A and B are shown apart, each in its own frame.
Chain A
Amino acid sequence: MKNSFYTIILILILGQASHFGLPWWGLAPIAAIAGWLFPQRTWSCLLAGFAGGFLLWITVALWLDTGNEGMLSARIGTLFMGLSRWAVLATSGVLGGLIGGMGCLTGTWAGSLFGRTAA
């Protein structure tokens, strides 16, 4: 539980590097580092990674969307088969979550090769 929490926090902190030029897929290695440092069981690792990636992406998106008063997300929703503003936000979150989850799992399983296992 504690490791899941740390994983999420670390992803949120290191993920800020994407504001400074780290490519968006840098989320995968960041989540892997978190998974390596805080070993977890498969599902909790997937879930923590997902939560970290999801929160990271959706908070930034939500921040921009709020300032924009939802003008652009409404247009993008129309572009993608009529998604609602919230569905557009969720899409960004879920994509971040998937990358975070898979990255975290890869990191945790890499750690287990070196004896780092969940408590």
Chain B
Amino acid sequence: MRVFRFLVALLLTILLVWQLHSPQQLGTSRIPALGDFFNPFTGFWQNAEPADITGILNGPLSIPGLKQPVQVVYDDLKVPHIFAENLADAIMAQGYVTAQNRLWQMDISTRQTSGRLSEVLGARTLHLDKLARRRGLLFAAENDWKAWQTSPETALYMEAYAAGVNAWIDQLTPADYPLEFKLLGYAPEPWSPLKTALVVESMIDALNKRDNDLAATNSLAVFGRDTFNYLYPLWNPRQQPIVPDTGQWKGLNVSLPEMSAQLPATTQRDTGIPDMSLPSAFRDFYGSNNWAVSGARTRSGYPILANDTHLPLKLPHVWFQQQLHTPERNCYGVVVPGVPGIAIGFNEEIAWGFTNVSQEVVDWYLIDWTDQTRTAYRIDGAPQQADLRVERIAVKGQPDVLDTVRYTIWGPVVYDDPEHPLYNCAYRYVTHDAPTPESLGQFLNIGRAKTYTDYRNAIPGLDCLAQNVAFASHSGDIAITVEGKFPVRAREQGRFILDGSQSANAWHGFVPQEDLPALLNPSRGFVFSANQHSTPPSYPYFYLGNFDDNRGRRIFNRLEHMQGVTADSMKSIQLDNYNQLAADALPIMLQLLDRTALEAADQEWLKALDAWKYEYKKDLIAPSLFEMWFQDTYLLTWDEQEAFRQQKIDVLFPEGWRFIELLTKDTTSVFFDRRDTPERETARNIVTQAFREMSQKAREKGQEALTWSVFKGFAIRHLTSQAAFSRLGLQTSGSRNTPNAIGQDHGPSFRMVVELTQPVKAWGVYPGGQSGNPGSAYYDNMIDTWVEGNYFELLLLERPDAIPDNRLLVRQTLLPK
């Protein structure tokens, strides 16, 4: 009896511990093992960082491979200021402190890009992993690292960064693991240069993967050439290009035969790549603003540079801030965790900033397979074997999944579903090409640049991450360069799916560095970009893309009239809520509106719109009314496109600017006629109908829900989307079309203003925090400042002890082991 009751107690205890050590499934959500998670010794409590870490000394700590001691001074925003005796040590320390603050984010982003999510999350992410692999992102990262290794210098810094990250990882116990590892039930693994390459690829992919080839091909097939040209012109005449024609392209002759392979329309919507057929005016945009104003226009007499990069806003935040100080350089700025160096920033002499180029660097080629096995294909009539790359995808709790990807001379065949319209197409993507060995040189070298020449020498290292790089120097230069690797295309080449059976359809090389659009010290006294067209149509190279038509024009108009510029006036442009699209469209819509057809209840909305100055301020209702009215007008007009979409034929919708042009100049266009009514409508009818629809919707919503910040809704979510680690319901002004481009979950990811006086003065803010730990006070501490439109002064220290007392958080010394 006693033996029995002892055995029962023993068994129950073991069972209890076992249960508490096992993750549970509750409905669709996975709950971490409760004992692992809730025990205070190794569970989440260990991530509850003291709210006040001022002066809590961390170290000295030893890092194997470090050559000399490195001093790290954290300021009150938890920005590390790294003081090292040589660049390799500085990079190693950067790897160390970045991992210390952002390890899980680094891990998950590389898993996402390399198709290794399922290894830790199970079969539910298998489709994502397959798509990442089939799109060749791991392949591209492998090519990057192979290329970098051929440059001893690049390899040295990549290895140093990895060693720094690994020095942090190596001393972790399970109690120290970032919270998300505990929540998801896996452990960190060693870092490697390949992982840095993966982070680079994830940046490139987020910014450069866009294309409309399928929708354009379908549109051409269903509408015919004349209508296609009418609906989808490439150049907006009201646009202010980044680099104007000043005669610099005379004598540059790039004539290639026109081409437009007309392929039949395909059915079924593209599933894996975001729907790009709606014009940019309706999408959240991966955009950015940057500009530089010459000393002639500033109060101080020195140039000022401003940059705000618009990205999906998540927690942990996409950027990490730091200062890197060595005897040769002293620079400050942001970079994506996992990448060494500084992407956007400044030093004592210069400042630089990015916006996305938005030119298309992706094409699809229809493959002419020799037979059903799809292992060989014809090029100019001659059969050629596809390279079969077997992707092994580990899946938690299940056997590995093997997936064979066919690589052609064009690139990988992405889709393996025979129903997919791109099933027989190969993917030509600039990023699959091996980069130059120095391809990360931009991030490493620009930090020590002092002059325009240094900047021009540093930026070709950007390679395939196509960016408009603005520049300003203390010596008085301002400049902008459309930098990247751009295919040389015949006219319209790549606008549609290309015939992959002809070698002549290949890109004609890449635009040489000296022909890239660039602007130095223009007489107007400023350079700027906001993802608009790089050049006017007189630029001899043909290019395509998804260009923004609104922010750039507004920024141009503001800069053009500004004198005595200060940092505050630059901030006011970054925070400008004026929507150029509304300013173009609303007066025309109000003019077209048949006011006699309105009811008394509609007058209230009309009054708000009549009085509105196109400002997307958070407490106004007019922006919400305009958005609804414009969108309804747009969709009523393009019911032809919508009908094709209903049939799952992906077609292009006209750009917002073209739509406004038609509302202005072609009000009796057949497209204003609704397909579902016997009458023949004109723009006037459509605008009026849309107003009444809007009016009805507005009444149903009520004032509160019409307030712009509520109507738009804005949230910054944790990478896992867990509400617990997110900031929901933030009240913000702006829209994707205003310079202050705060959408629903996109927005200015780092606002920076640098005045190139000596000493240099800089201000910056991002909507997040330096720590990736939801248990840290530095996880989201900058969000409110960002929402309010305020900035922090950024500290570029000369020496570790130069930090003002009131801004010192903690010092850390890293020692060689």
Interface residues of B in 696-739 (CB under 8 A from A): 722-725
Q: Is B230 part of the binding interface, using a Cβ–Cβ cutoff of 8 Å?
A: no
A69 / chain B contacts, CB cutoff of 8 Å: 51, 777
Kindly name the residue among A18, A61, A98, A112 whose own CB sees the greatest number of chain B CB atoms within 10 A. Answer: A61
Q: How large is the interface on B (under 10, 10 to 19, 20 to 34, 35 or more residues)?
A: 35 or more
A69-B51, A79-B724 are known contacts. Are A28 and B45 too (CB-CB below 8 A)?
no
Question: Could you give, for residues 1-36 of chain B, a 1 whenever the CB lies within 8 Å of some chain A CB and a 0 otherwise?
Answer: 011011001101100110011000000000000111
- Across the interface, name the chain B residue whose C-beta is closest to A103: B13
Q: For the complex, is B50 an interface residue (Cβ under 8 Å from A)? A: yes
Contacts of B13 in A (CB 8 A): 28, 32, 99, 102-103, 105-106
B47 located at the interface, meaning its Cβ lies under 8 Å from any Cβ of chain A in the complex: yes
Chain B nearest CB: distance from A11 CB in Å?
A: 14
Chain B's closest residue to A108 (CB) is B9
Which residues in A have their C-beta under 8 angstroms from that of B179? 72
The reply to whether the CB of A95 lies closer than 8 angstroms to some CB of chain B is: yes
Contact string, B248-283, partner A, CB cutoff 8 A, digits 1/0?
Answer: 000000000000000000000000000000000000
Q: Which residues of B contact A57 (CB under 8 A)?
A: 38-40
B42 within 8 Å of A (CB atoms): yes
Q: Which residues of A contact B50 (CB under 8 A)?
A: 67-68
A37 within 8 A of B: no
Point out the residue from B10, B39, B41, B48 that lies within 8 Å of A95, measured CB to CB: B39
Nearest-neighbour CB distance to chain A for B55, whole angstroms, equals 14
B residues less than 8 Å from A112 (CB atoms): 2, 6
Chain B 178-224 interface residues, beta-carbon cutoff 8 Å to A: 179
Residue of A nearest to B6 (CB): A109
Q: Are B48 and A99 in contact (CB under 8 A)?
A: no
Q: Is A41 an interface residue (CB 8 A)?
A: no
Q: How far is the CB of B10 from chain A (nearest CB, A)?
A: 5
A38-53 interface with B by 8 A CB criterion: none
Residues of B near A32 (CB, < 8 A) are: 13
- B173: CB under 8 A from chain A? yes
- A24 to B179 alpha-carbon distance, docked (Å): 17
Q: Which A55-88 residues have a C-beta within 8 angstroms of B? A: 57-58, 60-61, 64-65, 67-69, 71-73, 75-79
- A114's nearest neighbour on chain B, judged by CB, is B2
Question: Which of B9, B42, B51 makes the CB contact (< 8 A) with A71?
Answer: B51
Partner of A79, one of B9, B722, B776: B722
The answer to whether B41 and A75 have CB atoms under 8 Å apart is no
- Which residue of the partner chain, among A19, A68, A77, A96, contacts B49 with CB atoms under 8 Å? A68
Question: Which residues of chain A come closer than 8 Å to B722, judged between CB atoms?
Answer: 79
Assuming the contacts A25-B21, A106-B13, asked whether A76 and B6 have C-beta atoms less than 8 A apart, the reply is no
Shortest Cβ distance from B428 into chain A, in angstroms?
44
> Which residue in B16, B40, B51 is a CB contact (below 8 Å) of A61?
B40
CA distance A96 to B45 in the complex (A): 14
| A75 in contact with B9 given A24-B35, A28-B17, A67-B48 (CB within 8 Å) | no
* Cross-chain contact A68 with B51 (CB below 8 angstroms): yes
Interface residue A110 (Cβ < 8 Å from any Cβ of B): yes
Task: For the complex formed, measure the closest distance between the CB of B22 and the CB atoms of chain A, giving whole angstroms.
Answer: 12
Contact between B9 and A105, CB atoms less than 8 A apart: yes
Flag whether B96 is at the interface (Cβ < 8 A). no
Q: Annotate A89-119 by CB proximity to B: 1 below 8 A, 0 otherwise.
A: 0011001101100110110011011000000
Most chain-B Cβ atoms within 10 A of its Cβ — which of A21, A57, A58, A92? Answer: A92
A30 to chain B, nearest CB (A): 12
Which chain A residues lie closer than 8 Å to B476 at the CB level?
Answer: none
A23 to B144, CA, bound (A): 42
Q: How far is the CA of A29 from the CA of B9 in the complex (A)?
A: 12
Residue B768 is within 8 A (CB to CB) of chain A in the complex: no
| Chain A residue at minimum C-beta to C-beta distance from B722 | A79
In the docked arrangement, what's the CA distance between A57 and B47, Å? 15
Closest Cβ–Cβ distance, residue B809 to chain A (whole Å): 16
Say yes or no: A25-B45 contact (C-beta < 8 A), given A75-B774, A112-B6, A113-B2: no
Q: Bound complex: CA of A99 vs CA of B12, how far in Å?
A: 10
Looking at B10, B38, B51, B776, which has the most chain A CB atoms within 10 Å of its CB? B38
Query: In the complex, how many angstroms separate the beta carbon of A102 from the nearest chain B beta carbon?
Result: 4
A28 to chain B, nearest CB (A): 5
Pair A60/B45 contact, Cβ less than 8 Å: yes
Residues of B within 8 A of A92 (CB): 38-40, 43, 45
Q: Determine if B775 is an interface residue (Cβ-Cβ < 8 Å).
A: yes
Among B34, B39, B47, contact of A72 (Cβ-Cβ < 8 Å): B47
Interchain nearest-CB distance for B662 vs A (Å)? 49
B319 within 8 A of A: no
Question: A67 vs B173: C-alpha distance in the bound complex, in angstroms?
Answer: 21
From A77, A96, A105, A109, B39 is in contact (CB under 8 Å) with A96
Q: When A19-B41, A24-B42, A102-B9 are in contact, do A68 and B48 touch as well, CB less than 8 Å?
A: yes
Q: Which residues of B contact A110 (CB under 8 A)?
A: 6, 10
Q: How far is the CA of A72 from the CA of B723 in the complex (A)?
A: 13
Interfacial chain B residues near A67, Cβ < 8 Å: 48, 50-51
Q: Which residues of B contact A78 (CB under 8 A)?
A: 723-724
Contact A75/B724 with A109-B6, A113-B2 known, Cβ cut-off 8 Å: yes
Q: How far is the CB of A65 from chain B (nearest CB, A)?
A: 6
Q: Which residues of chain A are within 8 angstroms of B20 by Cβ–Cβ distance?
A: 25, 95, 99
B629 to chain A, nearest CB (A): 38
- Residues on the A chain within 8 Å of B5, using CB: 109
Residue on A nearest B773 in the bound complex, by CB: A72
Q: Considering only CB atoms, which chain B residue lies closest to A92 in the complex?
A: B38
Known A28-B13, A71-B48, A106-B10; 11 more pairs at CB < 8 Å: A18-B41, A23-B42, A24-B43, A60-B40, A67-B51, A71-B776, A75-B724, A78-B723, A92-B39, A95-B34, A106-B9
Q: What are 15 sample pairs from A and B whose C-beta atoms fall under 8 A apart? A: A64-B48, A68-B49, A68-B51, A71-B775, A71-B777, A72-B179, A72-B775, A75-B724, A76-B724, A95-B39, A99-B17, A99-B35, A102-B16, A105-B9, A106-B12
Shortest beta-carbon contacts, A-B, top 3? A72-B775, A68-B48, A24-B39
